[in-house]
Structure formats: C-alpha cells, structure tokens
Amino acid sequence: MTTRTTYWLEHAWLDTNVEPGVTVEVADGRITAVRTEVPVPPPGAEVLRGLTLPGLANAHSHAFHRALRGTVQVGSGTFWTWRELMYSVADKLTPDTYHALARAVYAEMALAGVACVGEFHYVHHAPGGTRYTDPNAMGEALIAAAADAGIRITLLDTAYLSSGISTRRGGEPPDTHQLRFSDGSAQAWAERCSVLKERDHARIGAAIHSVRAVPAEQLATVAGWAEERRAPLHVHLSEQTAENDACLAVHGVTPTRLLADHGVLGPRTTGVHNTHLTDEDIALLGGSRTGTCMCPTTERDLADGIGPAVALQRAGSPLSLGSDSHAVIDLLEEARAMELNERLRTRTRGHWTAAALLRAASADGHAALGWDDAGTIETGMLADLTTIALDSVRTAGPVPRLGAEAAVFAATAADVRHTVVAGRHVVRDGAHTLVPDVPTALADAIDALRA
C-alpha cells in the first residue's frame, strides 16, 4: 500500500535560492512532486513553518565519543592524551550499552536536523579481541540504533590492524586497548564485514582507520573490497603531523602518496580531516576526485589544525562535514566553522557562499556516504527535510530570502523544528517522535559506561 503525504514549506531552500510557499508531495518515502508559489497550505498538508533545507548528512561519526563530552575538556593535553581517555570508554562498550548510547546519540543528531550518519566503526570485538558469537554484534547494534532513532546510516566498517607504522611487516601489533578493534589481517576484516547486510535505512561501506592502523601491504585489500561493491571508502588522513613524520620515515612518502600508490584514492573515497597536506597531496586528492570530510568542531577541540579546504575544493575534492567526536552535534556549526576558520587563517572573508556550505552539509555529505539519491529537494529524491526556525532569538530579523545566510551564520541545532527522514516525521516541533526524552536517554547511556 502506497503511503502518501504532502508537506507545505513556508520557505524552502532549493539549492540556489529561498522560495516562499512550496509543497512537497511524497509517496513511499520519495519526493514525487515539488511545487512553488503555493501561498497557503493545501487541505490536509503537514505544515513546516520556517526555512526547510534538505535533510543534513553527518559524514563522520564515532558514536561512543559522545560519552567524552565535558570530560576531555578538563585541563590541557594533546590528541594523544585525549586518545587514552577515549580508549577507556571504548574498553567498556558491549553490544547492549553501545546500542543504548548510539540510539541516544543518533536521536540527538535527528534533533539537529541530521537525516543520515556515516558511522566510522572500529570497536568490533570484546575486550582482548575475543569475537562475539555474532562477529558483527557491535555493527548490528549501531544499525539497529539508527533505525530506532529514525535516521539512515552508512556503517563504515573499519579496518584497524596495527598500533603504528614500522618497518616490520604487519606494522606494530595492536596494544591492549586496540585488540578489540583488530581482525588480525585485512583479509579477515573483509571476511567478517562481508556478512553485513544492507537494509532500507542502512548501507555498508568500508574504512581504513589510518595509515598508522593498516599496514601498507594490506591497504589494497580494503580498497579492493570497497571497489568490488562500489561502496564508499573513508580514511582518517594526515590528522596529525606525527602520522606524516612516521610515514615519511618508514615509507619515504606522505600518507596521501602511500594511499595513492596502493589504489585507495578515487571518487568513492573520502579522506577525513586532510589537515596537514603538501601541495602534491592536494593535487593527488583533487585529481582523483577523492572527497574531503572536514570536522571543524573536533579539529579545533583537539587542536589538530585547520585543513586546506579551499585549496582541496579548487583542486577537485568535494567537501562534506562531520561532527566526529561530538564535542557538539550541530552541522550548522560545522558549516559555519569551516568558513570562519578560513577567515581567521587568511584574514579575508567570504570563501564559501551559504549555499555552498549547505551543499557540503547535505547533498555532498550524502554522496560521500553512498546516498546519491538524497540531499536535495527534488522529484525522485528521498524525502528528507530539515526545518530551521526563522523566529528564534538567533534567527529573527533577516528577511526570509536571506534564510540560508541566517541558517549558516546564526542558527544552531537548537533552532531545528522539524526533521523528516524518507517521508517520516522524526522530529516534530523540536521533539523527537521515537525517543521521548533524549537528554535522559543520553545521560543514562553514558552513566552505564561509568559503572
């Protein structure tokens, strides 16, 4: 039986401009018609007041990092000291506690207007590396959590095999914390994640954690798995200068060149962070159409640095956005931060238009996750809608035709009023329809990891 719904959008961003009075007709989760110049809601239409954007895509997430919020902001330190605290949380995860936490985190994302998440998943096994009876129990927990929270997921099942780059074949062995991340070899990783099945709300992709964590001689196995399935492939790339230094010392090339030499780069690949790059690295990424996922709120929280996003995009690398460690979950802030970081770095303004930043947060993010049929309000696309209030203390004042600018440069996740995912009204008037009390769900799930 076909399910039909008509949404009336008070104002809608249609990729290039803001239009008043737009109807979106939906059947079985897809847009069947978009009509402009509809000044009043048709009878029976669901009314979305404010500015409606395509549903947002969070292209890089580690759901369990949400448990670190606040804790890792105490005192000082580096990425490497932060990592030890992260390991302490990872050590305590079970399939049940991970499901509870991810369900709450994904519900928080829905409240922030996110319709789809790319989960960079590497906590595969029990502590010590023992496999669960279902070797994909942790990944299945994440897939179920996304369904329970009403959003889509691309599970980027991650190969994480070594603790560092070395001259020894196979890299340095995993440390105690990392044993539960490792399958032992890329071939064993491929055999395990090949069992994962896609669903209506879930697609399966691959990830190389980093050149630190996957030995050079095994990179091609992961890349080949993704290529055979035409699946998205993501990789943490040059987030830290220490990674570059180690790669140069052992292999004589940068991490980007190493990935290129082993067939990892390409239009279905996304480098996450891409922070400390040479001019040759930028040319390799852009020339191969490898994407770049910037995560500005995490990159600034960890003092990682500001990546060359403008140069990467000019070279041909599409940009997407992610909340990564979830210091905050706010794709509007990620978009704003990318522009404002560049302003601070260059002391000039206006590197991207509001429309370009919104595309990074929507259509280009969905494409990076393998959902080319999402991210725009057009006939045939998945019916994902995110509505931003234009009458909050942050957004009141600008004329509606400047709604895109108001959304990017003033609004926050707190201004999201509605989130529709594949035609389903997941957030209505700022309240989640499937997880009644998201703050309590978050608090309870995080508290369980402290026991």
Q: Which member of 157, 281, 301, 324 is catalytic?
A: 324
Tokens of 193: 């994640």
Among candidates 128, 210, 125, which has minimal Cα distance to 176? 128
CB within 8 A of 86, min separation 6: which ones? 65, 68, 72, 325
CB atoms within 10 A of CB 226: 23
DSSP string of 156-215?
A: EEEE---SB--SSTT-BPP-TGGGGG--SSHHHHHHHHTT---BTTEEEEEEE--TTTS-
- Asked if residue 158 lies in contact with residue 178, where contact means CB atoms within 8 angstroms, the answer is no
CB atoms within 10 A of CB 451: 6
Among candidates 203, 206, 228, which has minimal Cα distance to 370? 203
Main-chain dihedrals φ then ψ at residue 411, nearest 5 degrees: -70, 160
CA distance 427 to 381: 20
User: DSSP letter at 125?
Assistant: S
How many residues does this entry show for the chain?
A: 451
Residue 324 bears catalytic tag: yes
Question: How far, in Å, are 179, 190, 378 from residue 91 at the CA level?
Answer: 10, 23, 44
Among candidates 241, 242, 247, which has minimal Cα distance to 214? 247
Indicate the pairing of strand 4-13 with strand 18-27.
antiparallel
Q: Which member of 99, 234, 273, 432 is catalytic?
A: 273
CA distance 44 to 42: 6
Indicate the pairing of strand 233-237 with strand 202-208.
parallel
Distance of CA 61 to the CA centre of its chain: 5
CA distance 234 to 309: 17
- Catalytically active residues, by annotation: 273, 324
